[in-house]
Amino acid sequence: GAVVSQHPSRVICKSGTSVKIECRSLDFQATTMFWYRQFPKKSLMLMATSNEGSKATYEQGVEKDKFLINHASLTLSTLTVTSAHPEDSSFYICSARVPDTTDTQYFGPGTRLTVL
């Protein structure tokens, strides 16, 4: 299957700093990537849809100025959590859609963000 990587796997930062998370499709080109957030014992919550070469589409309630998404190439999307606060601590997961007729999404391994 298609491989999606995420970096870093975990990050601890101080409140007020910004953190960048990278999502890469390793063996295919992804025009569309998705960013999710998972709270403990909850399902995945879609934050935004990242489209290569254009602005991301954010879900209702997600602050676009806080969660900056850049999809500069067909294999890389980045999520930057700006001015992070403890309530931003969570598990962030990206996925990339394989552009075939089935449009299956393949997920990265996730990034555990802890804001002190």
Partner 1 sequence: DQQVKQNSPSLSVQEGRISILNCDYTNSMFDYFLWYKKYPAEGPTFLISISSIKDKNEDGRFTVFLNKSAKHLSLHIVPSQPGDSAVYFCAASWSGSARQLTFGSGTQLTVLP
Binding residues (CB under 8 A) for partner 1: these are 1, 4, 6, 32, 34, 42-44, 46, 49, 57, 91, 93, 95, 97, 102-110, 112
State the nearest-atom distance from the C-beta of 73 to partner 1, in Å.
20
Of 19 and 47, nearer to partner 1 (C-beta) is: 47
Judge contact between 14 and 115, C-beta under 8 A: yes
Residues 6+ apart with CB under 8 A from 62: 47, 48
| Number of neighbouring beta carbons within 10 Å of residue 46 | 14
State the nearest-atom distance from the C-beta of 83 to partner 1, in Å.
25
State the nearest-atom distance from the C-beta of 44 to partner 1, in Å.
5
Q: Is the omega angle on the peptide bond into residue 8 within 30 degrees of 0, that is, cis?
A: yes
